[in-house]
Amino acid sequence: MLHIYNSLTKKKEKFIPIEPGKVRIYVCGMTVYDKAHIGHARVMIVFDIVARYLRASGFEVNYVRNITDIDDKIIQRANENSESIQNLTARYIQALYKDSNELHIIPPNKEPKATEFIAEIITLIGQLLAKNYAYQGKNGDIYFDVHQFKSYGLLSGKQLEDLRAGERVEISADKKNPLDFVLWKMTKPNEPAWDSPWGLGRPGWHIECSAMSLHELGSPFDIHGGGQDLQFPHHENEIAQSEAATGHKFVNYWMHNGFVRINDEKMSKSLGNFFTIEEVLSYYHPEVLRYFILSSHYRSPLNYAESQLSMAKQALTGIYSTLRGVPTKKIENKPLSSLDHPLITRFRAAMDDDFNTPEALAVLNEAKRELNNAKYKDNVQQDELAKLLYLMGSTLGLLNSDPEEFLQSPIQAHGNQYVFVEPVLAKIEKMPAHAVQLLTNQEIEQLIQQRVEERKNKNWQEADRIRDILKEQNITIEDTATKTLWRRG
């Protein structure tokens, strides 16, 4: 039985879907004014795993992840670039899709954009005004009256009086209380605007997610997810405006993933330790980044460091090396609950414990060790273990590549030095002086064949020289009874 830590109740709870056999999930997606960073990668991967595991457990999952395509930051960036908002957001949406595909994220069932839901947003604001949960300020903006919603602060554990005491902003003439948040902003010069009963304007950020989630999933729905940074005020405000409008519970289970830190420091552009997904994937295979993210529990802080990524790479390389030469790759399309094997039982127990992916990865590595022992000894057991390994890997979004393809990928050559990758993705200014141009796979195969011939002719000095050339390229070779295997890294 799956248990989920509910951020609303601050405890693990048995997961009971509203509709038996079906799960409805909403996750706050990106505001598309820049490229996605590794914090976004963590959100995407965490909730990709949630959806994957629920489906593998036999549930029908309706997963919705929104795109915010109208926002103060978007307007500001478009003005700075002297381009239209439509061009800006379209470009970064495509960049987001590219990152998602490389990370092997299964696309959500629906991915609504805020600008497509203006009518629903206006209707929702109208309901809040009619129920006296909202009012129009002197500047024309529509605000949510936090004081009217008695359970405000329940998700974040904050008390209204404490929030007021810590509020540095004086009560303005435009709203009743500093904590009141905007639902509709009146138009300003050179800003996009839509017509409404209150005049030309655009939606506030918080109301967008309520309108989209209520329209796509109804209310209540099962799971609402996002980064820990959204817990307050964004998700707190979502609860307030949604429950005030509908008169009943908004969401049953709230899930929040932890922050990402860089070498134990907060990730920040001002500190120069801010990495986009594109930058990271120019040095590491996408599955290495996924393995690294899954190696920490989703609620824990994640420390992005070279050593941690190297460990993830080493672990994943070990699994792929074990699968090398094993013919089995087919995965039976059956729920995990239908399979009776100790490894599957342990894997399910880990995932049922609030999606404990570090423990699930430990089971994968146990399966790898058992497969190593069975290799070349018991073909039946080897086939069974390989199938289980691929099945569990697939549930975690791993082991999508052919072993040879993964082990010989140019991106795998990155060790303790940066290297040029074909095509050159890494930034030239980051390259140290000792960085080298990679050999192509074809050139490596030619050198290995040349080495084989030199060994046949007992020209050991030349064979060793070729091995040293390959070693300088971070190529590991393994001589077997029938052929020479190689991998990068």
Taking domain 306-403, whether its CATH number is 3.40.50.720 is answered by: no
Is 297 annotated to bind a ligand? Reply is no
Residue 455: its pLDDT value, please? 84
- Annotated ligand binding at 279? The verdict is no
d(CA 386, CA 379): 10
Mind listing the pLDDT tens digit for each residue in 405-438? 899 887 765 443 333 333 333 333 343 444 456 6
Residue 439 scores a pLDDT above 90 = no
Confidence of residue 64 (pLDDT cuts 50, 70, 90): very high
442 CB-near residues (< 8 Å, 6+ apart) = none
Give the domain ranges of the chain.
3-261, 306-403, 428-488
Q: Does 249 show up as a binding residue in the annotation?
A: no
Q: Which one has a higher pLDDT value, 387 or 66?
A: 66
Report residue 269's pLDDT band, with 50, 70 and 90 as the boundaries.
low
Superfamily of domain 3-261: HUPs (3.40.50.620)
pLDDT at 13: 98
β-strand 60-65 against 22-27: which pairing, if any?
Answer: parallel
If we measure between CA atoms, which residue out of 489, 484, 403 comes closest to residue 445?
A: 484
Expressed in percent and rounded to 5, the helix, strand and coil fractions of the chain are 45, 15, 35
Omega of the bond leading into 233 within 30 degrees of 0 (cis): yes
Angle between helices 357-374 and 379-395 (to 10 degrees): 160
Whole-angstrom distance, CA of residue 369 vs CA of residue 387? 14
Distance CA 271, CA 232 (A): 24
Establish whether 131 is an annotated binding residue: no
> 134-147, pLDDT tens digit by residue?
999 989 999 999 99
Amino acid 418: pLDDT: 35
98 marked as binding residue: no
Tokens for 182?
């905007």
Average pLDDT value for the chain: 88
Question: Nearest-5° angle of CA 250, CA 110, CA 46?
Answer: 75
Place of tokens 């381009």: 83
475, 396 contact by CB (below 8 A): no
Three-state DSSP state, 26: strand
Full-model pTM: 0.86
| Whole-number pLDDT of residue 168 | 43
Q: How confident is the model at residue 459 (pLDDT cuts 50, 70, 90)?
A: confident
Rounded CA-CA distance 207/203 in Å is 7
Tell me the sheet residues that pair with 137.
none
Condensed to tens digits (0 to 9), the pLDDT of residues 142-174 reads 999 999 999 999 998 887 776 654 444 445 668
Rounded CA gap, 176 and 236, in Å?
19
Angle, nearest 10°, between helix axes 379-395 and 342-352? 10
Q: Can you tell me the mean pLDDT for 92-103? A: 96
Per-residue pLDDT, 164: 58
